[in-house]
Amino acid sequence: MSTELEIYIKKLLDKRGINDQDKEDLYYEIKDHLMLLKNEYLSKGLSEDEAVKLSIKDFGNINFIGNDIKRNLPSNNKYENLSFREKTICLLEMFLSYFIFICIYAMAGNISTQSIFFDIGMATVVTLTSFIYINKKLNSEKGKVKNLIICNILFFIIEKIIMLIFTIFTLNIIGLSTDPLLYTITSSYVFDLTYILAFVLLVFSSVIVTKYIGNMLFKNIRNTYNYTLASTVLFVTSIILLLIYYLIPNRFYLLRKIIINTIGTEIISVSKNVFFMVINNGFVIPNIGLLLLMLLCIKLVLHIKKKGIKSIL
C-alpha cells in the first residue's frame, strides 16, 4: 500500500482515544476501502500518485471522518480486557480519589480521621472510582468482574505498603509516640479493621452489581477517550501537588515538620499567592502542581486545535 495512504490512515485514527482493538479493525477496513477507490482511478488510466490523492480526497477530511468514526463505533469505544497500562491508570485514579478524600478531611480540620464515617467514606470513594472506570471502559461482564477484583486487590496491597512506610517514616520524623514501634504500627490506620471490612464489602458489592446489572447501567455510556499513561501520571501528580501546596504549612503536621527541618527554624511568617509561597521571608516554594496543570492544558489546547474538540468527546 502507498506510504501516503498509510500516513493518512494513521492520522485518521491516532490520538483520538480510540481503543487498540477497534483501531486495528478500523485500520484494515479503511485500508480496503481506500485501495478500492485507488484501483478505480487506476483503471481509468490515472497515475499512481493521482489515484492516491483522489482516493484520499474522496474519503474525506481527516478530522471530520476520524471523529465521526469514533463517535459511531458499535462498541462505544469499549473493549474486552484492561491492559497493564489501563490497570495502572485505574490504580492512579483510585489513589487520586483517595488523596483528595484525605485532603477534604484535612481542610475540614475538626473532623476525626479515627471515625467510622472516615473509614466507610474512604472505602466508598476508592471502590466507586474503580467501579466507574472499569464499567465505562469494558463491555465484557467477565472482563469487568476480573479487573474489578484485580485492581482493588492491587490497590489494597499497595496502599497498605505505602501507609506502613509512611507510618514508620512519620514516627521517625515526628517522634510523638511513646509506645513500642510494633504496637504503634499495628494499632494505626494500616490495620484498621473497620476500613478493611468496609473495603472488602464494598468491593464485593461492586462485583455483584457489575455482574448482574453493570451492562444495563453503562449500556449507553461511551468510553470517550483513552488517555496515555504519561498524561495520567502528570495530571494525578499536578492535582496532588496543588492540594499539598494549598494545605501547607497549616495542615499535614509531617510536611510542616519537614519544612522546619529543611529551613532550620520554626515557621514564623508565610506569604502565599497562586504561583509561589515565601516562608520566613526567605524560603520559596513554587506551585509546581499549577505549572504541571498549565502544561497539560496547553497540550490539550494544541490537541484540540490539531484533532478537533470532538476527538476528546
pLDDT in tens, 248-259: 777 666 677 777
Per-residue pLDDT, 150 = 97
- Write phi, then psi, for 248 (nearest 5 degrees): -80, 150
Place of cell 514508620: 168
Q: What is the mean pLDDT of residues 185-213?
A: 83
Residue 6's pLDDT band, with cuts at 50, 70 and 90, is confident
Place of cell 514564623: 268
Per-residue pLDDT, 94 = 96
Instruction: Please state, in angstroms and rounded to a whole number, the distance separating the CA atoms of residues 32 and 38.
Output: 10
Do residues 2 and 297 make contact, with C-beta atoms less than 8 angstroms apart?
no
CA 273 to chain centre: 28
Lowest mean pLDDT across 9-23, 182-196, 291-305: 182-196
Residue 183's pLDDT band, with cuts at 50, 70 and 90, is very low
Dihedral angle of Cα 231, 234, 237, 241, to the nearest 10 degrees? -130
Characterize the bridge pairing of strands 283-286 and 270-272: unpaired
Instruction: Please state, in angstroms and rounded to a whole number, the distance separating the CA atoms of residues 196 and 274.
Output: 38
Q: Which three cell numbers stand for residue 109?
A: 480540620
169 pLDDT above the threshold of 80 = no
Do residues 256 and 249 make contact, with C-beta atoms less than 8 angstroms apart?
yes
- Among 1-5, 97-101, 153-157, 305-309, top mean pLDDT goes to 153-157
Cα angle for residues 33, 36, 38 (degrees, 5° grid): 110
Q: Give the predicted TM-score (pTM) of the model.
A: 0.85
302 versus 179: the higher-pLDDT residue is: 302
Q: What is the mean pLDDT of residues 84-100?
A: 94
Residue 297 identity (one-letter amino acid)? C
Q: What is the mean pLDDT of residues 67-94?
A: 90
Instruction: Please state, in angstroms and rounded to a whole number, the distance separating the CA atoms of residues 236 and 56.
Output: 40
180 pLDDT above the threshold of 80 = no
* Average pLDDT of every residue of the chain: 84
Per-residue pLDDT, 105 = 79
91 pLDDT above the threshold of 80 = yes
